[in-house]
């Protein structure tokens, strides 16, 4: 029996475990906390290949400096002496060109095109939590605000994705939560959404039901290759296997840097909360200018946003939630932004070049899966499928080539 240990029970780790099981591999998943304990819990749950685009683009050069001095801006960088952070941001900003945008988009398009079908495969294989189809309602206060979004969608279409985008005359019919301040709106079809926490829990249950082992409250302190690949736990125990996959999200560097993975991963922390909505929401609402994503969640509206470059385990900063409230309140109606529940912070695993890290490390039999930044939920299942194939067959699909962790 071939055995694998997966470190990290987020969307990416569990999807990889599920696909390894498809190939008959016996999997053990370990997580320092529990299923979906990291970024895979309170995110927006958008399954939007249309929006799975490079995070850095030329608008960074105008938006970035303004954001640094605006306490309500979605982007937040604390002023502190942190060499690692500032060198990461310098490399990240270096990708804020149209040339880099097209290079990154060309690398993302093939996996984007596999992303939704990979969710169907999970549903057919015992993952009971369901995906829901859009439309997504995209709102702006003025025509000029919409131009950048529409231009980006047309560039994405130019790379080969189908982008059904249509102007809406009466957006409030689909999304009564939008206030009259929203003067320009589009509907984006062909996308889906999920309730991410319940979905990843359901994926964890499917891995268990298929004979996998899930050990929570167990921290990996090292991954090595002695006579075989193995994971050293904080208890001192070593789990040996034929393959090890490190899928620890924003915590990736501590385990994979010693294995030759030099691409930095930094936490780009985002926040979310839910509010009651009257009537209950039916469709996701996206406010690109405010960088706010709203999703129906358990009959409430989940509101998610911000990009805060702090360390992954720092405490939730209430000021970031307030910034989101300040940004959203003029654009939403029928929701009480003061009666918030489920306030949450999670750490997106961000790479400077906007590409994930998926593939072999320098240690034989040890692989990495992560670094998806804004898009680890939508890309998690396709990532798990392609990486499991590589581990089992030894052949890397061309889709994964740009994501080489040793680049
Ligand atoms: C506000 C917000 C909104 C977002 N919206 C979307 C969206 O709409 N669509 C989308 O596709 N993506 C979205 N994302 C991004 C997405 O959430 C992440 O890309 C994705 O969850 C990353 O999954 P992961 O499995 O790589 O990491 P995580 O979910 O963070 O999982 C990593 C796991 O590793 C465990 N771990 C860490 N270190 C160790 C260790 N040493 N030993 C054992 N276990 C360890 C952690 O406990 C954790 O459970 C959003 C993120 C945020 C913050």
CB 230 within 8 A of CB 224: yes
- Pocket perturbation via mutation, ligand 1, pick of 6, 7, 8, 244 by most ligand atoms within 8 A of CB: 8
Q: Which of these, 162, 167, 137, lies nearest to 296 by C-alpha position?
A: 137
Q: What is the mean pLDDT of each run of 10 residues along the chain (407 residues)?
A: 94 98 98 98 98 90 80 85 90 93 98 98 95 96 96 98 96 96 97 98 98 98 93 97 98 97 97 96 97 97 96 96 96 96 98 97 97 98 98 98 98
CB 38 within 8 A of CB 368: no
Q: How far is the CA of 13 from the centre of ligand 1 (A)?
A: 10
According to DSSP H, which parts of 41-136 are helical? Answer: 60-69, 83-93, 98-124
User: pLDDT tens for residues 254-279?
Assistant: 999 999 999 999 999 999 999 999 99
DSSP track, 307-354? EE-S-TTSPP-HHHHHHHHHHHTTTB-SB-TTS-EEEEEEEEEE-TTS
Q: What single DSSP character describes residue 181?
A: T
Q: β-strand 3-7 against 184-188: which pairing, if any? A: unpaired
All structural domains of the chain: 3-403 (3.50.50.60)
Model pLDDT, residue 1: 65
Q: What are phi and psi of 56, to 5 degrees?
A: -90, 130
3-class DSSP state of 2: coil
Q: Which of these, 309, 271, 314, lies nearest to 293 by C-alpha position?
A: 271
- What is the residue whose two structure tokens read 């640094």? 68
Rg of the chain over CA atoms, in angstroms? 20
Model pLDDT, residue 212: 98
Model pLDDT, residue 62: 81
Model pLDDT, residue 78: 84
State how far the alpha carbon of 322 is from the alpha carbons of 66, 135, 231, 374, in Å: 18, 28, 41, 21
CA 207 to chain centre: 21
Closest ligand 1 atom to Cα of 247: 26
What is the CA angle 346-348-353, rounded to 5? 165
- Pocket perturbation via mutation, ligand 1, pick of 348, 369, 387, 405 by most ligand atoms within 8 A of CB: 348
Tokens of 238: 């070593």
Host H or E run for residue 139: strand 136-140
| Residue 293 CB contacts under 8 Å (≥ 6 apart), including other chains | 44, 46, 284, 285, 286, 287, 303, 304, 305
Give the closest residue (by CA) to ligand 1 atom 12. 375
3-class DSSP state of 204: helix
56 lines ligand 1 (CB under 6 A): no
CB 271 within 8 A of CB 342: no
Q: How far is the CA of 144 from the centre of ligand 1 (A)?
A: 34
Closest ligand 1 atom to Cα of 33: 47
21 lines ligand 1 (CB under 6 A): no
Q: Which of these, 371, 235, 295, lies nearest to 44 by C-alpha position?
A: 295
Beta bridge partners of 344: 272
According to DSSP H, which parts of 125-164 are helical? Answer: 143-158
3-class DSSP state of 166: strand
Tokens of 105: 């988009």
Rounded distance, CA 403 to CA 286, Å?
Answer: 28
CA 62 to chain centre: 25
Q: How far is the CA of 38 from the centre of ligand 1 (A)?
A: 5
Beta bridge partners of 273: 303
Rounded distance, CA 16 to CA 6, Å?
Answer: 8
According to DSSP H, which parts of 159-281 are helical? Answer: 171-174, 196-209, 252-256
- Pocket perturbation via mutation, ligand 1, pick of 251, 253, 342 by most ligand atoms within 8 A of CB: 251
Model pLDDT, residue 70: 84
CB 138 within 8 A of CB 171: no
Model pLDDT, residue 171: 96
Q: How far is the CA of 251 from the centre of ligand 1 (A)?
A: 9
Rounded distance, CA 387 to CA 53, Å?
Answer: 21
Q: Which of these, 268, 319, 396, lies nearest to 73 by C-alpha position?
A: 319
User: pLDDT tens for residues 222-258?
Assistant: 999 888 999 999 999 999 999 999 999 999 999 999 9
């Amino acid at each position: 029996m071939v055995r694998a240990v997966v470190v990290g029970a987020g969307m990416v780790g569990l999807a990889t475990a599920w696909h390894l099981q498809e190939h008959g591999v016996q999997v053990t998943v370990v997580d320092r906390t529990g299923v979906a304990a990291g970024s895979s819990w309170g995110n927006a749950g958008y399954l939007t290949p249309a929006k799975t685009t490079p995070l850095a683009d030329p608008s960074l050069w105008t938006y970035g400096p303004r954001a640094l001095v605006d306490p309500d801006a979605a982007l937040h960088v604390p002023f502190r002496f942190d060499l690692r952070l500032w060198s990461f941001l310098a490399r990240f900003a270096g990708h804020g060109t149209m040339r880099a945008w097209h290079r990154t988009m060309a690398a993302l398009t093939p996996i984007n095109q596999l992303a939704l079908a990979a969710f169907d495969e999970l549903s057919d294989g015992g993952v009971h939590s369901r995906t829901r189809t859009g439309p997504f309602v995209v709102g702006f206060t003025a025509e000029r605000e919409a131009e950048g979004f529409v231009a980006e969608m047309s560039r994405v279409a130019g790379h080969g994705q189908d982008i059904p985008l249509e102007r809406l005359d009466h957006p409030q019919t689909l999304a009564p939560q939008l206030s009259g301040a929203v003067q320009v709106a589009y509907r984006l079809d062909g996308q889906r959404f999920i309730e991410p926490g319940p979905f990843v829990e359901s994926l964890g249950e499917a891995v268990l039901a298929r004979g996998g082992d899930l050990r929570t409250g167990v921290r990996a302190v090292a991954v090595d290759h002695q006579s075989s690949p193995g994971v050293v736990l904080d208890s001192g125990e070593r789990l040996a296997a034929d393959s090890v996959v490190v899928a620890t999200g924003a915590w990736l560097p501590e385990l994979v840097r010693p294995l030759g993975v030099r691409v930095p991963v930094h936490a780009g922390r985002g926040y979310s909360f839910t509010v009651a909505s009257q009537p209950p929401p039916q469709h996701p609402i996206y406010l690109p200018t405010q960088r706010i994503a709203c999703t129906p969640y358990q009959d409430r509206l989940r509101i998610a946003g911000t990009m805060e470059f702090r360390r992954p385990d720092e405490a939730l900063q209430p000021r970031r939630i307030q910034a989101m409230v300040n940004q959203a309140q003029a654009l939403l109606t029928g929701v009480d932004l003061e009666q918030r529940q489920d306030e949450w912070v999670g750490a997106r695993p961000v790479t400077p070049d906007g590409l994930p890290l998926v593939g072999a490390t320098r240690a034989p039999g040890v692989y990495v899966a992560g670094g998806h930044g804004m898009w680890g939920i939508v890309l998690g299942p396709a990532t798990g499928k392609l990486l499991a194939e590589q581990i089992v067959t030894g052949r890397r699909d061309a889709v994964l080539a740009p994501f080489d962790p040793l680049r």
